Amino acid sequence: DGNYCLTCGSDKTLKLWNPHKGTALRTYQGHGYEVLDAAGSFDNSQICSGGADKAVALWDVTTGQVVRKYRGHAGKVNCVQFNEEATVIVSGSIDSTVRCWDCRSRRPDPVQVLDEAKDGISSVKLSAHEILTGSVDGRVRRYDLRTGQLCSDYIGSPITSVCFTKDGQCVLVASLDSTLRLLDKDTGELLGEYTGHRSTTYRLDCVLNEQDTHVGCASEDGHVYFWDLVEGSLALSLPVERGVVQSLAFHPRLPCLLVATQGQVTLWREDTFQPE
Amino acid sequence: AVESSDSEEEDLVSYGSALQPLQEGERIKKPVPLQEQTVKDAKGRYQRFHGAFTGGFSAGYFNTVGTKEGWTPSAFVSSRQKRADRTIPGPEDFMDEEDLSEFGIAPKDITTTDDFTSKAKDRIKEKARQIAGIVAPIPGTTAFDDLIGPSKITVGVELLRKMGWKEGQGIGPRVKRKPCRQKPDPTVKIYGCALPPGLSEGSEDEEDEYQPENVTFAPKDVMPVDLTPKENVHGLGYKGLDPSKALFGVSGREHLNLFTGGSEETSNLLDLRHSKGRKLGITGQAFGVGALEEEDDDIYATDTLSKYDTVLKEEEPGDGLYGWTAPKQYKSKKRPEREFKHIGKILDGFSLASKSSAPIQIYPPPSLPRHYRPVHYFRPVIKAGNENCHLQKALEESTGKLESDPAQQSRHALNAAQRREQLGETELKGPAPSILEYLSEKDRERLKEMKQASEQKIKAKIVSQQPPNSRFQSASPEDAADKWRMLLGGQLANAGSSDFKPFAKNPEKQKRYENFVKSLNKGEKATLERFLDPNMTEWERGREQEEFFRAAMFYRSSNSTLSSRFIRARYEDDVDKVEVPRDQENDIDDKETAVKMKMFGKLTRDEFEWHPDKLLCKRFNIRDPYPDSSVVGLPKVKRDKYSVFNFLTMPEPTTSVTQATNEKIQESNSLNKPKKLSRWDVSDKEKKKKDSISEFISLARSKADVQQQPPVPATEECGTGKSETLPTLVANEDKNQEEESGRPPMDLFKAIFVSSSDEKSSSSEEESDEEQQPTTSERESETTKQVDVPDSSSSNVQECVTATTDSGISSLPTSKQELDATEEFGPKLPPAFSSGRFCKHLDTKEKRRKIRERHKTKKERKRKKEKKKKHKKQKNKGKHKNKKPEKDSSSDTTDSSDSLSDMDTTGLSPKELLRR
């Protein structure tokens, strides 16, 4: 919710930070291989993480213990997400499945497996009633639980990251052809296209800022690019590092950006930033 | 009615014997428990309930064989002297005594008394038994009935008889003749199957004829209804092989005749057989040779293969039962007058239908065109100026599927005369006969048929709706004429539009139209009005002028329509595929192209039904969208992707194309999906633009158009199903290909945008026509002029090409409706039905409905998109023109009209801008 920062890495641990102060709050150990993604629940009481050990772990924040571990993926777990109420963990793996794990019961197997993708899942996002997945097969799939529909939009190149806009009407899709696309959620029409960055190899994140006015994306040239959402013009490029900017996270309410590069997380904000 | 008194007891009747009064002190005897109750047989042996024949274990003498003296076959006699009177050992000879006793299976000691047995044998029963004996799988088994269940007449029958009833009479008061029949004699037991009604009733009825009137008769006896329950698992009416025929052949038949012939004899079957001199008991009639059977040779001798029919041939007149060994009387009695369609007899209780059911209509598959190859080669059909073909080609190549469209090919190859014929148009004056000469005799005949059919259709459907019809009719004849001109190298230089008679139904109008076109060609715009009928009202005149414009436009614009339909086809095709194997996403390739062209949306989107897990819904706090379904995930559809039918449906893409195009023809409003781009659309749109003007002149009329238009394509269909190809056209097509390959891919995109924008403009026109009306109307006349000039004069290759490509257009609607029909009427039909014959049976109503529905939902979306695209297209336009200005005049016109539409849409809503 903007107060904490979770990092995960190849040291098989997750770390919880206070990004504003730069202090490490806690370290969670338990994964067998590197941790590829982590997400916190809405109440900050739980953390889920997925790693190269093909397992999805549910952590208790305060005790630092693994509450539950879900094994079932056949490959590395690329991405994990809680649903709004932290009752379900949705994890996407390179085994091309998305699995929905029940946090409430002790069931060891997933509630549902979404195996429509033809290739690895690179990104998963959830809204109140939707599961949005981006897959390396170049498709963005949106599972709408409310209407019981699966919408599959073909993008073409492998998708690295997807995210909903804050209003839930559009979907931002980053793909390996160095393009961000803004798609209409309902029709799949292309509303905007943003280019200029370089994204050909890595799984890079894309973000929308807190007001949906700009879209941002990490780049392999060490910059973070921001475009105006409406006009599609490049608004800003932040030189972060020499190397690849791996991950991005925007503060949900404040103009505040977390950027992860090789072994380093930096927090960017406007000069006038006032911490809450 | 006895008063209650002290003497009451004396009035009571007491039954049974009173229990002995218990003596004091005596305990009540306990009943012997069941397991201690023992039974001794006559010989004092314990627990001998059964003999061997009744399933028991006591056999012979104290479980030994034989008698007290041992086993001495009682029947043994020295056969030297007494060979002749050897007794036949019956089953009784092998039975235990117990079996023959009162409670055995074959009680001998005490059988039914003769008290109630009628002296005369029951006739009915007799007959029944005989029949049963014949019908029974093993003849003669009914002989057992005599032993086991001796014919017995019940007390009731006896009483009846005492009261004067005679056998064969009905029961009840005596009546005059022709009473309704009474209940069957309930007391008569029938064994086996029922008597055939013909046997006894027929004779009775005959007797009825000459009865005197004043005599009363007992009601007719009614033959008991056969209520034999069906206990076996055979089919209804099944009768087992009659072994007498199957096994014994000729000799068996003779044997049988003896039985049936002597049905009047009262002697029972056993007697009968004895009379024949054969030893018959229960032995010898089953398969194989019984132990006591002497005549082995008979069996093997009589049943040879030669006895069977090895050839199927006509029924013999005498006996129509081949291999059917039904009871004899069916053969002899019920010979139906009419020939049976099926071999065999009619089941009991069924009668042959008096009317033969409507013959199943069989539609022969269309003859494959001569050039048909089951493997698809992509033959780009382009007009010179059609950039859309690039796109189409690219799409097709990228999919790399085997989607040859035989029908389409053939349609391309149809020549003008053929098409004209099919459409029932009037012939061209000059060269028309010559082309008929190219055709084979057969083809000509077929054409004639088609022509008639289509004419009928036209008459039926479109009597009053001439204007709208003519508009659409005009399309193909028009380019037919056009093409014809091309082929002849300008022989018809001036014939041009005069050959094209869109208003052939109305000669005056046609004349007017011709004048109109002429003047158009000369460029006298101002004089147009004078050709119109002065008697008409202003409104009518305006309308007619519109029609003329349209006809002329159509004539011109149809040239350019062909090539790009394939994009649309692709798309439609996709949709189909998604619908069928629902669990898979479609072809990436066309999507890829779509993505390249940045046409996200419909093209790139697949929607599926997806069933979330119930628990998942619960966890998400969402109501299960499919509360009833137990499916989780994507529902699987059973259709086999690789079934034969899928391969057979190869021409689908074309059909779907035509579907799309057809829709457009039918109604400009019904351009549903924004992504469907096609050349056809372009031209159509243009035309539509003009249409819209008139449509806004009279809104009501446009409505009518919508409804009237669908039938027209149908008529076209029947004409175009033919799949003859003309070798002359092939050359043209080849040229096309060459041209296409040379072109840069950029054109492809341009083409798309051009067409799409056109589409938009047209559709948007419908909604906001006010802007465009003035401009377009002005342009109309100009554009028509432009087009007409090159058309009529030139005979160069390019136009030949266009002509050939155009030829496909008219034929396209055919398959579309077929597709519709197939969708609506069940499983997809193999493409064989894409011939025109099928279409006759379609009804277009449903289609119309569909279109309208779709149209409503999609209009809005379309508009947005279209506007967006227009802009892009505009940019492209400049380049595009430079590249091939000489090539297509028609495309130029499209552009110009496009630009118009672009102007119109520049005033976009802020929302649209934002989206962009």
Please report the DSSP string for B244-301 in residue order: HHHTTHHHHHHHHHHHHHGGG--S-HHHHHHHHT---SSSSSSSS--TT---HHHHHH
Nearest CA to B593 among B741, B751, B734, B740? Answer: B751
CB distance B616–A115 less than 8 Å? Answer: no
Distance from CA of A261 to the nearest CA of B (A): 31
- Per-residue pLDDT of B861-891, as tens digits, reads 545 444 444 444 444 444 444 444 344 444 4
From chain B, pick out residues whose CB is under 8 angstroms from the CB of A114: 633
Q: Which residues of B touch A84 (CB under 8 A)?
A: 620
The lowest-confidence range among A78-87, A95-104, A250-259, B294-303 is B294-303
Task: Report DSSP state, residue B463.
Answer: S
Whether B311 shows a pLDDT value over 70: the answer reads no
B598, B599, B620, B914: best to mutate for the A interface, most A CBs within 10 A: B620
> pLDDT tens digits for A52-81?
888 888 888 888 888 888 888 888 888 888
Residue A239 in domain: no
Residues of B in contact with A113 (CB under 8 A): 633
Segment A13-24 mean pLDDT:
78
Contact B914 A152 (CB under 8 A): no
Angle, helices B565-579/B679-697, rounded to nearest 10 degrees: 100
A100 falls within a domain: yes
Which pairs with CB-CB distance under 8 Å and at least 24 residues apart come from B853-857? B854/B670, B854/B672, B855/B667, B855/B669, B855/B670, B855/B671, B855/B672
Distance CA B6, CA B3 (A): 9
Burial class (CB in 10 A: 0-12, 13-18, 19+), B27: exposed
List CB contacts of B513: < 8 A, sequence separation 6 or more: B501, B502, B503, B548, B551
- Highest averaged pLDDT of the listed ranges A8-22, A113-127, B317-331, B653-667: A113-127
Contact list in A for residue B597 (CB cut-off 8 A) is none
Predicted confidence at residue B551, as pLDDT, reads 65
CA B219 to chain centre: 52
Res. A113 pLDDT band, cuts 50 70 90: confident
Determine how β-strand A88-93 pairs with β-strand A121-126: unpaired
Buried b (16+ CB within 10 A) or exposed e, B848-860: bebbeeebeebbe
CA nearest to B600 within chain A: A189
A108 domain residue, yes or no: yes
Span of A253-267, B356-370, B550-564, B838-852 with lowest mean pLDDT: B838-852
**Domain ranges, residue A116:** 5-204
Q: Does the pLDDT value for residue B707 go beyond 60? A: no
8 Å CB contact of A191 and B594: no
**Could you tell me if residue A97 is inside a domain?**
yes
| Interface residue ranges in chain A relative to chain B, Cβ cutoff 8 Å | 83-85, 87-88, 100, 102, 104, 111-116, 128-129, 138-139, 143-156, 181, 183-184, 187-193, 230
pLDDT interval class at B914 (50, 70, 90):
very low
What average pLDDT does chain B have? 51
Beta-carbon separation of B612 and A116 below 8 A? no
Q: Which contiguous run of DSSP H or E holds residue B609?
A: strand B605-609
Nearest residue to B87 via CA among B96, B98, B76: B76
- The mean of the pLDDT values for chain A is 79
pLDDT at res. B567: 39
Is residue A167 within 8 A of residue A212, CB to CB? The reply is yes
Work out how many domains chain A is built from and give that number. Answer: 1
Q: Is residue A91 part of a domain?
A: yes
pLDDT in tens, B545-592: 677 666 665 554 444 444 333 433 333 333 333 333 333 444 555 555
Q: What is the pTM for the complete model shown?
A: 0.34
Identify which of B908, B655, B859, B888 has the alpha carbon closest to the alpha carbon of residue B760: B859
Percentage of chain B lying above the pLDDT 70 cut: 7
Q: What is the pLDDT of residue B731?
A: 39
Whether the pLDDT of residue B596 is over 70: the answer is no
Query: For chain B, what percent of residues have pLDDT higher than 90?
Result: 0
Q: Kind and range of the H or E element at A181?
A: strand A179-184
Cα separation, B546 vs B701, whole angstroms: 13
How far apart are alpha carbons B405 and B396 in whole angstroms? 12
Which residue out of B590, B607, B860, B872 would a mutagenesis test of the A interface target, given it has the greatest number of A Cβ atoms within 10 Å? B607
Q: What's the pLDDT score for residue A262? A: 65
Q: B616, A155: Cβ pair inside 8 Å? A: no
Q: pLDDT for B446-457, tens place per residue? A: 666 666 666 565
Q: Do A156 and B592 touch (CB under 8 A)?
A: yes
Q: Which residues have C-beta within 8 Å of that of residue B580, sequence separation ≥ 6?
A: B637, B639
Say if residue B283's pLDDT is above 70.
no
Task: Give me the pLDDT at residue B733, please.
Answer: 42
Q: Are A148 and B596 in contact (CB < 8 Å)? A: no
Say if the Cβ atoms of B588 and A138 lie within 8 Å.
Answer: yes
**Closest Cα partner for B386 from B752, B796, B794?**
B752
Q: Are B619 and A112 a contacting pair, CB within 8 Å?
A: no
Express as a percent the part of chain A with pLDDT over 70: 89
Q: What is the dihedral of CA B885, B890, B893, B899, to 10 degrees?
A: -80
Residue B806 buriedness (CB in 10 A; 0-12 / 13-18 / 19+): buried
- Asked whether the beta carbons of residue B600 and residue A190 sit closer than 8 angstroms, the reply is yes
Residue A125 three-state SS: strand
Query: CB pairs under 8 A, 24+ apart, for A218-223?
Result: A218/A244, A218/A245, A218/A246, A218/A247, A218/A248, A218/A259, A219/A244, A219/A245, A220/A244, A220/A245, A221/A197, A222/A261, A223/A197
Taking the CB of residue B291, how many other CB atoms lie within 10 A of it? 7
- Per-residue pLDDT at A45 exceeds 80: yes
Angle at alpha carbon of residue B60, lines to B59 and B64, rounded to 5°: 90
For residues A78-92, average pLDDT: 85
In the structure, how many helices (H) and strands (E) does chain B have? 38, 1
Q: Is residue A17 one of the residues assigned to a domain?
A: yes
Query: Which one of B570, B574, B604, B760 would you mutate to disrupt binding with A, by most A Cβ within 10 Å of its Cβ?
Result: B604
- pLDDT band for A199, please (50, 70, 90 cuts): confident
Task: Collect all residues of chain B within an 8 Å Cβ-Cβ radius of residue A195.
Answer: none
Assign B80 a pLDDT band (cuts: 50, 70, 90).
Answer: low
- In chain A, what residues touch B615 (CB-CB under 8 Å)? 102, 111-112
Provide the shortest C-alpha distance from residue A88 to chain B (in Å).
Answer: 7
- Is the pLDDT score of A94 beyond 60? yes
Structural domain contains residue A64:
yes
Residue from the list B601, B613, B634 with its beta carbon closest to the beta carbon of A187: B601
* pLDDT number for residue B894: 39
For B519-581, give the DSSP string: HHHHT--TTHHHHS-TTS-HHHHHHHHHHHHHHHHHHHHGGGGSTTHHHHHHHHHHHHHHHSS
Pairwise CB contact (< 8 Å): B607 & A102: no
pLDDT in tens, B817-834: 443 433 334 334 344 333
Q: What's the CATH code of the domain at A162?
A: 2.130.10.10
Q: What count of Cα atoms within 13 Å lies in the side-chain half-sphere of residue B626? A: 16
User: How large is the greatest C-alpha to C-alpha distance in chain A, in angstroms?
Assistant: 49
Q: Which residues on chain B are in Cβ contact (under 8 Å) with A154?
A: 585, 588, 591-592, 594-595, 604-606
Q: Which of B598-612, B626-640, B703-717, B788-802 has the highest mean pLDDT?
A: B598-612
**Closest alpha carbon to B383 in B83, B801, B789:** B801
**Can you tell me the distance from the alpha carbon of B353 to that of B261, in angstroms, rounded to the nearest whole number?**
32
In contact, A103 and A58? CB cutoff 8 Å: yes
Residues contacting B817, CB < 8 A, separation 6+: B659, B662, B713, B714, B717, B839, B842, B844, B847
When pLDDT is cut at 50, 70 and 90, the band that residue B611 belongs to is confident
pLDDT of residue B131: 58
Longest dimension (CA), chain B: 144
**Minimal Cβ distance to A148: which of B585, B595, B610:** B610
A-chain CB neighbours of B617 within 8 Å are 145
Q: Residue B698, Cβ neighbours under 10 Å: how many?
A: 15
Instruction: Please say whether the beta carbons of B622 and A155 come within 8 A.
Output: no
Highest-confidence range of A26-40, B336-350, B785-799, B861-875, by mean pLDDT? A26-40
Taking only the tens place, the pLDDT of each residue in B466-510 is 443 333 333 344 444 444 444 433 333 333 434 445 555 566 667
DSSP notation for A226-243: EEETTT--EEEEEE--SS
- Measured between CA atoms, how close is A129 to chain B, in angstroms? 7
Q: How confident is the model at residue B730 (pLDDT cuts 50, 70, 90)?
A: very low
| Residue at token pair 């139904």 | B505
Look at B459 and B374; give whichever has higher pLDDT: B374
Would you say residue B215 has pLDDT above 50? yes
For B110-147, write each residue's pLDDT tens digit.
Answer: 555 544 444 444 555 566 656 555 554 454 444 454 45
Q: Quick one: pLDDT at residue B45?
A: 58
* pLDDT at residue B128, rounded to an integer: 60
Give the mean pLDDT of B707-722. Answer: 39
Instruction: Give CA–CA dist B559/B550, Å, rounded.
Output: 14
Min Cα separation A227/chain B (Å) = 14
- The answer to whether the CB atoms of A156 and B626 lie below 8 A apart is no
All residues of chain A having their beta carbon less than 8 Å from the beta carbon of residue B604 are 153-155, 188
Name which of A229-233, B392-396, B722-726, B747-751 the model is least confident about.
B722-726
| Radius of gyration, alpha carbons of chain B | 46
C-beta atoms of A190 and B634 within 8 A:
no
Q: Where are the alpha helices (H) located in B558-678, listed in sequence order?
A: 565-579, 588-596, 614-619, 644-648, 652-666
Note the ipTM here: 0.73
Q: Which residue has the higher pLDDT, B440 or B499?
A: B440
Q: Across the interface, which of B595, B599, B607 has its CB nearest the CB of A151?
A: B607
Q: Stretch B147-163: mean pLDDT, rounded?
A: 67
Amino acid type, B877: K
The residues of B whose Cβ lies within 8 A of any Cβ of A are 585, 588, 591-592, 594-596, 598-602, 604-613, 615-617, 619-626, 632-634, 861, 864-865, 914-916
Residue of chain A nearest B916, judged by CA positions: A191
A159 within a domain of the structure (yes/no): yes
Secondary structure (3-state) at A121? strand
CB-nearest to B616 from A145, A152, A155 is: A145
A188: chain B residues, CB-CB within 8 Å: 600-602, 604-605
Place of tokens 């004056």: B429
- Comparing CB atoms, the residue among A146, A155, A190 nearest residue B601 is A190
Predicted pLDDT at B530: 53
With a CB cutoff of 8 Å and minimum separation 6, the contacts of B668 are B684, B685, B688, B691, B692, B695, B762, B763, B765, B766
